[in-house]
Structure 1
């Protein structure tokens, strides 16, 4: 329920629901305040989106009827640069969720050191129920509606849940037609032939692997033979599983929206990827044992990768997991209470704002390449990604060690200092 700020509601103009993504984000901000020093004067900036747009997206369906969908674009903070963040198509998309995702993008971009602010978008829709042409019409109308606030120097969308390079191509083309000129830099995650970057498709999953490798080294957890459980086997989870398996780890369990499968000696990841491509999910994979979805959280493992949606690791699940290392491939998968439980149990959590930052990092590379019309090889992309994420992780690790705080709070300290310093230096206008 939207409402104005008051002494009884100091955190936001939205009344957050318990355990909602926005409430989770606000709780994370509260934990960082004691470490901000004089910059805490500007802390209210973190609790309020700069701009939130709700749009009606009417389209003509293939049968001639007209349906209306609700779309959102939220710019949380633009102090460090133009907004940056994906667009998701999902039946559970809400303004509150998009606000949180935009805020996490602010933190993520600042934690990695990218010259972007945070933004996010979405449409409340079940995309699987739309035809190809209906999906195109939905995308083009949504792009036209949010066109008043996006642009290569204003806000740059990208793929997220249930969106892909084709949808980014439609967005880029629609925006370009509306301004009367080709603007490849208005979105990232495009097809390569339209100005997309090599290495972008696997970048988020690669970032999970890179930060996971660095974290494992610091806690003396060898990747060779390590047992890995992955929740979510889309682009992020599947890529992370592939890279960990290539490094000698055993991917023992995978869960997605269709079910969960287990194979203690280690799943054949390429075969599972082929099965998912053919059947739409992991259910029915014959080279593994099916298990109940909730039993996934009891699987003996060393590394747990939640790479689905937010709010998956509850307090109960945090008590049950046997993992030594949790790598957040998804945005906001761990509730604050669960964070505390895993910290008490000695489980190291690499937070989403650094762990899954590979995607936005290569999006930054794509944006830069579009401006210069000079493109790098995939090896160059991967080398630059490894260097940036490795350096960002090391800085956050050192901050956590110095302040005796978790990696999540350390990432927020690093990021919020950068955001609020930019806010202070830019001042208020007028």
Structure 2
């Protein structure tokens, strides 16, 4: 996988000194996206460096006692990218490949995402470099609680609200909420979202990101004249986002013809049995060995599968200049954050492939997180039908606004989404001014 170096137009003085200036990783992708939107910002462009500099970066040591009595240390992060429009909002990732560059980029994309769908949040993100599967339940709880205590100085219901991400779930959020609450001396249910229902979580939250991908996918397909019924869909990543999106597409009559996860790729031209595949994953942890499909040994062949819709729902920087030429989809729905590099973006645009960018396509999760946060403050909870209706309306409205701007300015949906979002963020920055 190629890693972007410093974009030529980015002066070194705008790159934080704690990063490798010659190898910026995901943060370099984010910076290039900001550079591409800058010419469309008019007078607000004078504030654009606000978007290139995280407001706050916290790196913490997370020591725990292992079950065998030894002491292990893990590196954790919490980055608050921008809070001009409201408290920071973004997930916490437990993964062995977590880096500061990745967390910074994810926090920047959260700023853009929250503004693009017009929820009153800024952007933030957190993570620990650890493979959670190597920890016992007790070790995982001790690590989560220690990490929460370390970042507790900057999070809070009105400051920065974490949520689940790769490698974390509602149980992790419960431990985070409890730790923060114990340290504060009172229950603070609004400090995290994605909690269990019994602790103030929201109905519909678990499926929200995948449902959002499906909703905007149907809207975009309609604009392309592509019928969902009978459409051939391939999905990379079959967890909370890709798996749920696949199920909803299958329920609507689409054929899920290929799925790739961290271990294997499975295909079936007549359509996979999504329910059976999900049961197999629950039992084994992977799509590998699924009896109802053929397995492909060469992972790179996934990108060349015959399909109408591609849903990358794994990690960032998966669609690159090396594999973009092979993609045969008419429509790409970015369920993951930052799955497409700028170079691949250009290649796919030239091929006439429509990309619904991550900052719109996967915004269902943060939208329902916002609903959860509001419900926690009011102590009044909505039905799942009501939540899904509100989610569908907001996602459709966000895509419609971005689509209209894309047509007016003759730019890609990604550029249009960044124009909408960055304008909102920088208008807020300008109106607030600088203090002191």
For 2:391, the equivalent position in structure 1 comes to 385
For 1:158, the equivalent position in structure 2 comes to 163
- Structure 2-normalised TM-score? 0.96
| Residues 304-323 of structure 1, C-alpha deviations (whole Å, 9 max, x = no match) | 00000000001121110100
SS at match of 1:313: coil
2:137 to 118, 125, 132: 132
Is 2:24–2:101's contact at 8 Å kept on the other side of the alignment? no
1:283 maps to 2:258: no
Is 1:9–1:15's contact at 8 Å kept on the other side of the alignment? no
Q: Distance in 1 between matches of 2:14 and 2:174?
A: 41
Deviates more, 1:384-393 or 1:16-25: 16-25
1:368 to 362, 374, 389: 374
1:255 to 260, 263, 287: 260
Q: CA deviation at 1:17?
A: 5.2
Instruction: Summarize the alignment of residues 221-232 of structure 1 with structure 2, pairs less than 5 Å apart.
Output: 221-232=226-237
Query: What residue ranges of structure 2 are gaps of 5+ in the alignment?
Result: none
1:208 maps to 2:213: yes
Is 2:12–2:21's contact at 8 Å kept on the other side of the alignment? no
For 2:111, the equivalent position in structure 1 comes to 106
1:425 maps to 2:431: yes
Is 1:169–1:191's contact at 8 Å kept on the other side of the alignment? yes
For 1:355, the equivalent position in structure 2 comes to 361
| Residues 332-381 of structure 1, C-alpha deviations (whole Å, 9 max, x = no match) | 00000000000000000000000000000000000000000000000000
Q: Distance in 2 between matches of 1:160 and 1:17?
A: 28
Is 2:61–2:76's contact at 8 Å kept on the other side of the alignment? yes
SS at match of 1:235: coil
For 1:342, the equivalent position in structure 2 comes to 348
Runs of 4+ in 1 over 6 A off after TM superposition: none
Aligned length: 426
1:233 maps to 2:246: no
SS at match of 2:365: helix
Q: Distance in 2 between matches of 1:17 and 1:182?
A: 45
1:300 to 300, 306, 311: 306
Deviates more, 1:343-352 or 1:291-300: 291-300
For 2:14, the equivalent position in structure 1 comes to 10
Superposition CA RMSD, Å: 1.2
Q: CA deviation at 1:15?
A: 3.8
Q: Distance in 2 between matches of 1:263 and 1:180?
A: 55
Q: CA deviation at 1:8?
A: 3.9
Q: Distance in 2 between matches of 1:58 and 1:366?
A: 31
For 1:92, the equivalent position in structure 2 comes to 97
For 2:417, the equivalent position in structure 1 comes to 411
For 1:56, the equivalent position in structure 2 comes to 61
| Residues 162-217 of structure 1, C-alpha deviations (whole Å, 9 max, x = no match) | 10000000000000000000000000000000000000000000000011111000
Q: Distance in 1 between matches of 2:20 and 2:401?
A: 35
Q: Distance in 2 between matches of 1:121 and 1:381?
A: 26
- Structure 1-normalised TM-score? 0.98
Q: Distance in 1 between matches of 2:55 and 2:110?
A: 13
Q: Distance in 2 between matches of 1:94 and 1:266?
A: 37
